Structure 1
């Protein structure tokens, strides 16, 4: 992550404040609005990596039920908003085309890590810089599996609260980044992350005043639905 900006703006699910989340339109919009990196969620279903946050398709598409109950053709037929399809990981990477860094969040643990590693290995072979990729997850065993399979790609540990050992678990994973909810950020966590050589990112921050406050505190970046506000 050597070319990552000192303070990094990450478009959350593309730029979900402006376009349907986890779609090609959201990713393109995030780039257009100046996001340094784009974050999106990936699930493995029917042998393909799909961009989808929820385990069900009800909230973000015109379909119903669990994503993993659908076949690829059924997922292809879904409308993810404004006529947008549910894209695959390959389609997302081809659209971004290294115009921004890419943060892929593993949402499932049914072989998702191995599937994402297979895809990324091809893009690395084609010249995509490893430091322009970040794979993250709340499910740390799946994240560890990915790290074992493709150690050249940096990983990011997502946490809901503050671990007892502060940034320790992320460091033990070999992570480059610790990402934490804005409600749990404090000076000690920031200092501990930096002392362990980790960047600290905060999710999900949409108000400019909060962005400024966190930057002054010393966080290294933030996820936002509105990259233009940052």
Structure 2
């Protein structure tokens, strides 16, 4: 995950979900138009497809009900993901992005998700996408480890909610390039340890301008935000 030239990477959270329904093509395109350096999307593997969906259930973000995995691909395609948007698949999202920005793909499921994402990205890399334009991340570290065995050239990001006992060592152990941590657990010692290990330290999910400014002053490398324009306004 190459740092932005200004040294502060703005990552559109689920696209730009402060402006458009999360994890939809409209949200992704909005983040790109607002100037985000990366877009972050969540993927789940089910019925032969990789669906952009954060929750394991459909209720919050679509007009569907129950577990995503309880529905067929055809049924999922008929759902409204907000404002008439469909639930897109990973290839549809990548075709829309067209290398305009970096892509952070979060593995949300563990039923072959890593292998399915690796297969898709392998094809896009073969078609000319630089491997370093991707960042694959997850809270589910065994899934990240599996992905690394399948497609080691794609950078990894470890997601963590808390402060690891070994500071940033958890990311080093996996051979990751980034540690992505919740804003409530930002610790200057963790930032320093990550940087000493050659890692980037990115923080999620930050929307308040004053908090964005504080984190940048602390020396974090990037932020996930629902409003990319707010972070970009820092200069």
If the TM-score is normalised by the length of the shorter chain, which range does it land in? over 0.9
Q: Which runs of 5+ in 2 are unaligned?
A: none
What aligned pairs does 1:1-230 form with structure 2 within 5 A after superposition?
1-2=1-2, 4-5=4-5, 6-230=7-231
Whether the 8 Å contact between 2:3 and 2:9 is mirrored in structure 1 is no
The separation in 1 between residues aligned to 2:217 and 2:172, in whole angstroms, is: 24
Offset from partner CA, 1:66-104 (integer Å, 9 cap, x none): 001111000100000000000000000000000100000
Offset from partner CA, 1:192-219 (integer Å, 9 cap, x none): 0001110000000001111110001000
Offset from partner CA, 1:139-198 (integer Å, 9 cap, x none): 000001001100000000000101100001111000000000011111100000001110
The separation in 2 between residues aligned to 1:70 and 1:144, in whole angstroms, is: 28
Q: Which runs of 5+ in 1 are unaligned?
A: none
Offset from partner CA, 1:109-129 (integer Å, 9 cap, x none): 000000000000000000001
Aligned residue pair count: 230
SS of 1:10's equivalent? strand
The separation in 2 between residues aligned to 1:162 and 1:59, in whole angstroms, is: 29
Whether the 8 Å contact between 2:3 and 2:221 is mirrored in structure 1 is no
What is the deviation of 1:226? 0.3
